[in-house]
């Protein structure tokens, strides 16, 4: 009985962590060298969306290379919708985590209000003394949208992430007056690809990276493109302000296939994810595999992926035929200079780690890794 009461008190204390957040839409100049995919017409209908998926998943072919005709520099000012959170007023000097969501979500992936926020990554990070900056990826949600083929692409989004980071570091980001001494970057899925690319292209901007729902294997990526049963976002979502070429998974069954492993989630959270789902631009799908081969990053690197992740592990991260401890563990080769590398397999979990019953177990593994590495 006394033990139970103690456990109850600890829970209350954890839940009572103060949370102060500010929403800001910032305007940032972004420049990047983009692909020009003019040997491909932007799909305008659901039939054409299926045709796109058919070519993108054809075995032995590289749809990106077939569509690519040239490169062009894009230089524009974009609006990025952000949320900055801190545990309490005297934590202004705490390390800052910059969070990049993946396909299918927006920044609320990191702060799910479902079940009174008991799945919130941000609440957990704040309880460990971190500050967080999450944002809607360029092209998605309340950030600027753009041409889904030749504009909204991976390298433009990496450049946006670099700008946001520089502003947070130099004290010019609204609300972040105290410059953080340490900046950690965490991503999910495609957001992990962007975080990895940031560490490769701007290694001095980050002190530690956490790649969730990720591996360096591209073998199973077509399962994602096929399983989404993509349709035009402006025909499926209530928000009509996505032009043709922004695609979204068709329904809750497709959403389940992409992000969930039964029976390790609450069916109501699938309904919640479905209600709040977000699209992907075809330019993102065409460029997500074009990240650098290696990163010169010297700081600590954690890859944490659900044991049953479909797009990055084909449903079983431990089945490597003996080639390595796990599929994510093979990512060590991409970080020859990292001072620490760990690949952690989160049990009983699919691709959408934050939506499974044991999400908090994964958050604790991430915080443990960061603390062990002085972050």
Contacts with ligand NAG by CB under 6 A lie at: 23, 39, 62, 64-66, 68, 81, 83, 106-108, 115, 118-119, 136, 141-142, 163, 166-167, 170, 172, 218, 289-290, 346-348, 357-362, 365
The CB-of-171 to ligand NAG minimum distance in angstroms stands at 7
Q: Which is nearer to ligand NAG, 195 or 308 (CB)?
A: 308
The CB-of-287 to ligand NAG minimum distance in angstroms stands at 8
For residues 210 and 302, is the Cβ–Cβ distance under 8 A?
yes
The CB-of-349 to ligand NAG minimum distance in angstroms stands at 8
Q: Which residue is nearest to ligand NAG (CB)?
A: 361
- Can you tell me the distance from the alpha carbon of 228 to that of 7, in angstroms, rounded to the nearest whole number? 42
Number of H helices, E strands in the chain: 13, 11
Q: Which is nearer to ligand NAG, 2 or 238 (CB)?
A: 238
Q: Which is nearer to ligand NAG, 141 or 283 (CB)?
A: 141
Buried-state track 275-296, b at ≥16 Cβ within 10 A, e below 16: ebbbbbbbbbbbbbeebeeebe
Long-range contacts of range 174-180, CB-CB < 8 Å, 24 or more positions apart? 174/22, 174/24, 174/26, 175/22, 175/24, 175/84, 176/84, 176/96, 176/131, 176/133, 177/92, 178/92, 178/93, 180/93, 180/94, 180/95, 180/96, 180/131
Q: Which is nearer to ligand NAG, 143 or 249 (CB)?
A: 143
Q: Which is nearer to ligand NAG, 2 or 237 (CB)?
A: 237
The CB-of-260 to ligand NAG minimum distance in angstroms stands at 14
The CB-of-357 to ligand NAG minimum distance in angstroms stands at 4
Matching residue, tokens 């609300």: 175
């Amino acid at each position: 009985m006394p033990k139970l009461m103690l456990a109850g008190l600890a829970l209350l204390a954890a839940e009572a962590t103060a949370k102060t957040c500010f929403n800001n839409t910032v305007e940032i100049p972004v420049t990047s060298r983009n692909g020009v995919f003019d040997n491909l017409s932007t799909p305008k209908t659901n039939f054409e969306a299926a045709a796109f998926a058919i070519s993108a998943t054809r075995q032995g072919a590289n749809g990106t290379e077939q569509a690519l005709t040239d490169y062009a520099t894009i230089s524009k000012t974009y609006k990025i919708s952000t949320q900055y959170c801190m545990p309490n007023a005297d934590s202004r000097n705490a390390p800052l985590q910059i969070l990049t969501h993946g396909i299918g979500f927006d920044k609320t992936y990191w702060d799910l209000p479902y079940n009174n926020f008991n799945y919130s990554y941000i609440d957990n990070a704040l309880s460990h003394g971190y500050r967080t900056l999450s944002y809607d990826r360029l092209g998605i949600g309340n950030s600027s949208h753009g041409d889904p083929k030749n504009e909204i692409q991976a390298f433009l989004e990496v450049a946006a992430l670099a700008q946001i980071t520089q502003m947070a570091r130099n004290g010019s980001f609204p609300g972040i007056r105290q410059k953080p001494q340490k900046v950690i970057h965490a991503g999910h899925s495609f957001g992990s690809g962007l975080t990895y690319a940031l560490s490769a292209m701007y290694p001095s901007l980050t002190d530690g990276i956490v790649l969730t729902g990720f591996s360096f294997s591209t073998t199973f990526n077509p399962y994602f493109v096929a399983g989404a049963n993509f349709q035009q976002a402006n025909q499926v979502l209530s928000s009509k302000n996505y032009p043709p070429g922004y695609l979204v998974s068709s329904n809750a069954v497709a959403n389940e296939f992409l992000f969930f492993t039964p029976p390790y989630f609450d069916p109501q959270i699938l309904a919640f994810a479905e209600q709040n789902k977000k699209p992907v631009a075809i330019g993102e799908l065409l460029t997500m595999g074009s990240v650098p081969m290696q990163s010169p990053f010297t700081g600590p690197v954690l890859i944490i992926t659900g044991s049953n992740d479909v797009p990055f592990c084909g449903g079983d991260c431990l089945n490597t035929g003996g080639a390595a401890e796990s599929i994510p563990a093979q990512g060590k080769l991409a970080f020859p200079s990292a001072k620490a590398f760990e690949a952690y397999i989160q049990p009983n979990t699919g691709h959408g780690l934050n939506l499974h019953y044991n999400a908090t177990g994964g958050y604790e593994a991430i915080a443990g890794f960061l603390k062990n590495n002085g972050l």
